Structures are given as C-alpha cells and as structure tokens.
C-alpha cells in the first residue's frame, strides 16, 4: 500500500464511515420513532452538509496527516477530542435553530447518541485500515528505502529500532559516513556506502524516499550541507535533535519508537491546503482593496501634491522558486531615491523619505498596492517578505540556507514580521531567517490565520517599519 495513496484511502474510509454514522443516527432519530418529529427532515442534503462539516474539521486538526508510523492510540485520541468538540458545536447550532419549534425534541441525549455512533464507526474504520496497512507493510508491500546519514552510536540505535519495528515500513539500505575511514564498514547487516559528497547519487540510484540525519556534535556543521543536497529530491528528511534543543523546548519532535526526530517536510502544503490558501488570498485581498478604496484615493492625492514623481513605486523582487516579479508600493521616498547611491537599505532617519511617506510607512498604507500582487498570485498574504535580487544573492553567500525562503510564496506579512523588528544589518537578516524557516517548516492554514490576526494588532498598535 503506497504512502502516496494513504491520504486517498483515509478520505474514502472517512467518507463511508461518517455517512454511515449519519444513516444509523437518522434511523434512530426519525425512522424508529424513538424521537418524535412532526416534520420529517430531508435525508441526502443534511448528510452531505454534515460530511463536509467533519471533513473541514478533520483537515483543520491534522487528521489527514500520515499516521501509519504513529501510535494508533494517538490517532484515536485525536479523533475522540475532535469529534467531542465538533459534536458540541454542531448540536449547539441545531438546538439554537430548534428553539421555539413545536414538536421538535431538544433532548440532550441526541448529543451522546450521535457522538457515540460517529466515534465508534469512524474509529473502527480507521483502526481497520491501519491494521490492514500495517499487515501489508510487514509483508513487504509499500515499504520505503531509507538512508541513515552518520555512523555513530545514535545512528546504530536508530537502525536497531527500525529493524525491530517492521510496521514502520522502512528498509535501511545503507549508512552515509562523514569520515572516509568508516566507508565499507558494516553494522547489523547494513553497510556504510560512501561519504556525504555522493549522497545524491545513492538517493537516486537506490530509490530512497526517506533519510534520517544522525550526526555527532563535532559534525553538526555538515547538517545544512546534507539538507541542501537532499531538499530538491523530494525525500522525507528527519533529523536527530541535540539534547540542548530537547531540554529547552526549541523543537517539537516526532519519534521512531522512542528515538526523537525532527521532520523537515519537503512537501510543505497539500494540494487541498494550497487551494484553500489561494482562495483566502483572493477573497481577503479583494475585501481589503474594497474597504480601503477611500484611503487609496486620499493617499494617491497626498503623494501627488507633496512631491514630483509617480504615485506607485515599482521594484523587482524575488518570489517563489527564484522567479522575479515587480512589487507595487505607494511611493514613500523622493523620486529616483537610489539614483546616486544604488541599492541600499533605508535607515530610521532617512532624508529620502517624504512626510507623507513617513506616515504611510508607519501605518503600513504604503503596502496596500501589493494586494494586486496577491491577486495575480505573485505573492500571498502570509509568507517571508520578498527581497531584491541583489540582496538575495548577497545573503545567500553570507547566510547558509538563505534561499530556502524561496520554497514558498513571499507574503505581505509573515512570522518574522510579527516576531522581530525590521532589518538594520546582516545580523537582523540572520535572526529573521530563523523565523522564516520556522514558518516554512510549520506552514499551515491555522498558522496563516494566527499571523494575520497578530498582524492586525501590530498595525493597530502603530508599530511601523522601514523597508530596505
């Protein structure tokens, strides 16, 4: 059973079990006469609405992530909590709508009955599917070739754990060593194939789908090199965190039967989540452009009256996967501000900024035209801020892994913008990169909503910024 079909099968199982739960509940409530109803409700339309309701909730809480290597208890526990809250909200809405209707029961037993039916049937469906899935994995169907980067005590422990637990579906095809002296050695039937320089070849030739990075503290400098080599190959990357990170709570780790691991996800959003994110971008940007239209007109007049030059300032920026696009902003500086100096950052006290420009920067009105970039799909509402090509190349040379920011669309706002001040020097860029990478690794619709709400508070509190 291939992992790429896992989500489809879970969708199918949930579709059958959620609707089956509704059919059984409908029979008890209506057809059996256990709860008298003056008006018999329709059947198919409510069933479809209820299914879509649960589908959205399951998506929101991560019920469609790959659970096969996780505890089945953890999956059922999440299902229990999700359905409990979902049923409470659902029936609160139903009871509110039923108030005052003659002949409609408001028995609170309905909550327990439907929840019990739903939890039992959906839970049974998922457990049955996981049992079949694990049986197939143990039988050798749907397994994934895996490489372990590093040859040390910890990497050997990981190999032992994987070999003892075949339901993980992982077959370790080799170690990749840091030191050439370890090449050719063997442990528990697995050889050290080569050094880091040849990792890409082994991934492609061995049809490797997952790598586990277990480097000694003295070799941690190689971590970014390994990730950058594997990042574009579509493999799942997991890293053994160091003790300091775990003790200070800097990472949230998964585990391979007791061995803590951090997963670096190559597929940042599912296709469904990408569509939801895009729809959010379109609807919110259209809404904001509509309600800010009076501000747009007043700002354009103020800019034109104060200084010569265009109202809209255009500048080339680097977007998704390194593609260049033209970002739009209200002009906040004098015309040709960089004519003599070239590309430079703005400073807190910058003589090039006009009086109108200083105000619209402070309240972020200058960025409203970027809603057009969002509508075109060049930007998103949330993501790392887009940078100019000259600075991207400069930072990529000075800061390891800087170009990983280009894996997602740039945004109007982002985690770095709500958590850190704007850049004044290279150290600020390095610090903000940590926040951008955190966003990329934890990207989700829920994360975007959190950032958007925090951005509103930042703007309302008048925390202005200045652009480079």
In tens, the pLDDT along 138-189 reads 888 888 899 998 888 888 988 998 888 888 888 999 998 887 788 888 898 9
Same domain, 411 and 286: yes
Q: Is the pLDDT of residue 467 over 50?
A: no
Does the residue 465 lie in any domain?
no
The domain in which residue 317 lies consists of 271-460
Domain boundary among 112, 138, 164: 138
Which residue, among 209, 252, 264, 205, has the nearest Cα to 233 in the 3D structure?
A: 209
β-strand 259-264 against 254-256: which pairing, if any? Answer: antiparallel
On whether the pTM is more than 0.75, the answer is: no
Does the residue 233 lie in any domain?
yes
pLDDT tens string 438-465? 888 788 888 898 899 888 877 766 554 4
Same domain, 117 and 195: no
Q: What is the pLDDT of residue 37?
A: 42
Query: Where does the pLDDT of residue 291 fall: very low under 50, low under 70, confident under 90, or very high at 90 and above?
Result: very high
- Determine the average pLDDT of the residues in 358-375: 89
Total domain count for the chain? 3
For residue 263, what is the enclosing H or E element? Answer: strand 259-264
Q: What is the pLDDT of residue 83?
A: 92
33-47, 324-338, 368-382: least confidently modelled range: 33-47
Q: Is the pLDDT of residue 345 over 60?
A: no
- Determine the average pLDDT of the residues in 39-63: 79
Q: Is the pLDDT of residue 102 over 70?
A: no
Same domain, 307 and 444: yes
Two structure tokens written together for 329: 């902003």
Higher-confidence position of 270 and 253: 270
Same domain, 339 and 260: no
Which residue, among 108, 80, 14, has the nearest Cα to 53 in the 3D structure?
A: 14
Q: What is the pLDDT of residue 341?
A: 53
Angle between helices 72-98 and 44-60 (to 10 degrees): 130
Does the residue 195 lie in any domain?
yes
Query: Where does the pLDDT of residue 370 fall: very low under 50, low under 70, confident under 90, or very high at 90 and above?
Result: very high
Which conformational region is residue 389 in: left (phi greater than 0), alpha (psi within -120 to 50 degrees), or beta? alpha
Q: Position of tokens 């982002």?
A: 414
Same domain, 278 and 424: yes
- Measured CA to CA, the distance from residue 295 to residue 265 in angstroms comes to 41
Same domain, 90 and 155: no
Same domain, 258 and 288: no
Ranked by mean pLDDT, the top range of 46-60, 121-135, 334-348 is: 121-135
Q: What is the pLDDT of residue 244?
A: 42
Same domain, 440 and 337: yes
Domain boundary among 111, 138, 165: 138
Query: Where does the pLDDT of residue 47 fall: very low under 50, low under 70, confident under 90, or very high at 90 and above?
Result: confident
Does the residue 448 lie in any domain?
yes
Query: Where does the pLDDT of residue 296 fall: very low under 50, low under 70, confident under 90, or very high at 90 and above?
Result: very high
Q: What is the pLDDT of residue 462?
A: 56
Helices (H), 62-146: 72-98, 109-138
Q: What is the pLDDT of residue 120?
A: 94
Q: Is the pLDDT of residue 31 over 70?
A: no
- Measured CA to CA, the distance from residue 185 to residue 20 in angstroms comes to 55
1-10, 130-139, 203-212: least confidently modelled range: 1-10
């Amino acid at each position: 059973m291939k992992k790429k079909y896992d989500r489809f099968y879970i969708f199918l199982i949930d579709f059958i079990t959620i609707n089956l739960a509704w059919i059984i509940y409908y029979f008890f409530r209506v057809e059996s006469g256990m709860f008298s109803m003056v008006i018999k409700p329709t059947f198919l339309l409510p069933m479809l609405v209820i299914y879509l309701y649960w589908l959205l909730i399951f998506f929101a809480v991560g019920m469609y992530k790959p659970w096969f290597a996780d505890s089945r208890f953890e999956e059922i526990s999440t299902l229990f909590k999700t359905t409990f809250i979902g049923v409470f909200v659902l029936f609160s809405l139903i009871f509110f709508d039923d108030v005052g209707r003659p002949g409609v029961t408001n028995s609170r037993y309905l909550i327990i009955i439907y929840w019990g039916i739903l939890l039992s049937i959906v839970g049974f469906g998922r457990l049955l599917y996981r049992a079949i899935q694990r049986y197939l994995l143990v039988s050798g169907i749907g397994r994934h070739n895996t490489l372990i980067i590093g040859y040390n005590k910890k990497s050997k422990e990981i190999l032992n754990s994987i070999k003892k637990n075949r339901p993980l579906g992982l077959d370790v095809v080799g170690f990749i060593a840091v030191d050439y002296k370890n090449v050719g050695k063997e442990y528990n039937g697995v050889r050290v194939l080569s050094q880091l320089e040849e990792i890409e070849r082994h991934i492609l030739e061995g049809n490797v789908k997952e790598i586990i990075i277990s480097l000694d503290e003295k070799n941690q400098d190689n971590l970014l090199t390994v990730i950058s080599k594997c990042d574009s190959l579509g493999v799942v990357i997991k890293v053994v965190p160091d003790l300091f990170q775990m003790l200070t709570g800097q990472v949230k780790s998964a585990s391979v039967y007791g061995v803590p691991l951090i997963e670096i996800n190559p597929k940042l959003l599912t296709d469904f989540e990408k569509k939801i994110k895009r729809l959010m971008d379109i609807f919110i940007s259209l809404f904001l452009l509509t309600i800010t239209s009076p501000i747009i007109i007043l700002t354009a007049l103020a800019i034109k009256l104060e200084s010569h030059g265009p109202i809209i300032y255009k500048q080339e920026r680097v977007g998704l996967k390194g593609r260049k696009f033209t970002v739009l902003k209200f002009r906040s500086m004098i015309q040709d501000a960089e004519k003599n100096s070239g590309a430079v950052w703005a400073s807190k006290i910058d003589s090039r900024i006009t009086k109108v420009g200083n105000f619209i920067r402070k309240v972020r009105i200058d960025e409203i035209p970027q809603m057009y970039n969002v509508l075109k799909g060049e930007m998103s509402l949330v993501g790392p801020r887009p940078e100019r090509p000259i600075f991207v190349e400069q930072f990529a040379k000075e800061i390891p892994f800087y170009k990983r920011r280009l894996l997602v669309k740039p945004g109007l706002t982002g985690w770095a913008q709500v958590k850190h001040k704007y850049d004044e020097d290279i150290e600020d860029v390095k610090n903000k990169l940590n926040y951008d990478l955190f966003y990329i690794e934890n990207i989700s619709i829920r994360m975007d909503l959190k950032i958007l709400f925090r951005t509103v508070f930042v703007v309302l509190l008048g925390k202005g910024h200045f652009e480079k």
